Amino acid sequence: MGRVNKRTKCAFADLTGSEREASTYDQFLKFNNSKESSLALKGYLKEYKLFIDSNRLEIERIGIIEELIMQMRVYEIMDNIKISNIRNYIYARCPFYRKDIKTKDVRVIVDSTDIWNLSMDELSTNEEFMNKAKKELREKMNVVILNNMVRLQEIENRIKSEITVDA
């Protein structure tokens, strides 16, 4: 499982930035804004900035929705689980988009190797073990999904309040 996975490839979610990184459109504006710019270039930059400023919350909203789509799809399907043995613990991991984390997967310790006297290949086909791994992974995913649902609701409330103020 590499760092790039079809289930963690997004269109909008990475545009909006995070607490640690400015949005890609703000980075774009900063890089392309120069005192020596022609009037035509300044006009396009102004038009671009105006569009971003007037649609910033909607872009952030669609980014969060996209995150939720990717996360819920993995949560529901759970078909790409990898297991490994590290220092007498059995780990399970699967692709899972998280905006602020570079590795786009979720990992959990399922059990100690003392409990399961099976090889990794045998464990990956053991229904009891895999059900436990899925349960642990889903619990961790659920925390992230619920946080994103709260973020989405906050954005939607801000959008509604802006509409109310403008009306």
Could you tell me what percentage of the chain is helix, strand and coil, using 3-state DSSP and rounding each to the nearest 5? 55, 10, 30
- Write down the pTM of the prediction: 0.84
Q: Are 66 and 13 in contact (CB under 8 A)?
A: yes
DSSP 8-state symbol, 6: G
Q: Of 20, 52, 45, 19, nearest to 31 (Cα)?
A: 45
Mean pLDDT of all residues in 149-163: 93
Sign, CA torsion 12/139/113/79: negative
Query: How many residues appear in the chain?
Result: 167
Q: Of 137, 157, 134, nearest to 145 (Cα)?
A: 137
The answer on pLDDT for 7 being more than 80 is no
Rounded distance between C-alpha atoms, residue 102 and residue 15, angstroms: 15
Tell me what the pLDDT averaged over the chain comes to. 90
Query: What's the confidence (pLDDT) of residue 79?
Result: 86
Query: What's the confidence (pLDDT) of residue 167?
Result: 62
Tokens found for residue 78: 């759970």
Q: Are 123 and 83 in contact (CB under 8 A)?
A: yes
Query: What's the confidence (pLDDT) of residue 1?
Result: 42
- Could you report the per-residue pLDDT of 77-116, keeping only the tens digit for each? 998 899 999 999 999 999 999 988 888 999 999 999 999 9
Query: What's the confidence (pLDDT) of residue 134?
Result: 97
Query: What's the confidence (pLDDT) of residue 45?
Result: 92
The runs of H, that is alpha helices, within 33-117 are 39-77
Rounded distance between C-alpha atoms, residue 118 and residue 44, angstroms: 63
- Backbone phi and psi for residue 32, each to the nearest 5 degrees, phi listed first: -95, -5
